[in-house]
Amino acid sequence: MTINLSEVDFLNLSKRSQSSCVFHTRWRDKQCILKVYHHVERTNASPRDREVDPFTCEIQTYTRLKAHGLCGRGCVPDFYGVIDEINPMDRLPYLKDFLKDRTYSKGVLIEFIPNLRQIDLSTFSQDGKIHRAEVYHGDPYPRNMMVQEGSDRVLWIDFDRAQTYDSITPRQQHLLDEEDELMDYFVNALAEDYKEGKIHRTWECYYEYV
């Protein structure tokens, strides 16, 4: 679904990074998250076997996950649509970070979920469902694993490094297996850390890969 920028009211800037800005917005009387991306062009140095543009990664992933029902089950934020050809002049000062971009930006509009916090011992369960949709997250660390306080909802966020596969090659299967192994290590190590009452075995997961 393509959404017109004029339909979206900006409330505040939630986060900015080198690849995108994340805004708290309102659309059709509901609170939403709008992620606007700086376009990344493929170069001769770009890996041939993976997508490098963060918008393309995110839109392909949300399209795949929604088709597989993971948005409806709450495993990931619901995906509402895409905003094409965003002229930053139309929403100043919110989009001032994009004024020097060579091309107009694009964005994805997704569900706003209040009261999120990073995953802890009791909240990991969904990575296998994402892999069964043939999606490789690419950044499977606690900052992207969330639980909603006051509910039992556990979800993954931020798919701007994710890769979607139509068929699985041996190399891609290896990447999926590695991600599974990392998650197995994380949840087992977190259980041991919980017993000791301090972050020790999972320290790298929380602090090194930030």
Q: Distances in Å between the alpha carbon of 79 and those of 43, 65, 71, 92? A: 30, 9, 7, 25
Decide: helix, strand or coil at residue 188. Answer: helix
Taking residues 51-79, report their average pLDDT: 89
Domains of the chain: 5-111 (3.30.200.20), 116-208 (no CATH)
10 has which bridge partners?
A: 25
Pairing of strands 135-136, 163-164: antiparallel
**206 or 14: which carries more pLDDT confidence?**
14
* 122-151 confidence digits (pLDDT tens): 544 444 454 454 455 555 556 667 778 888
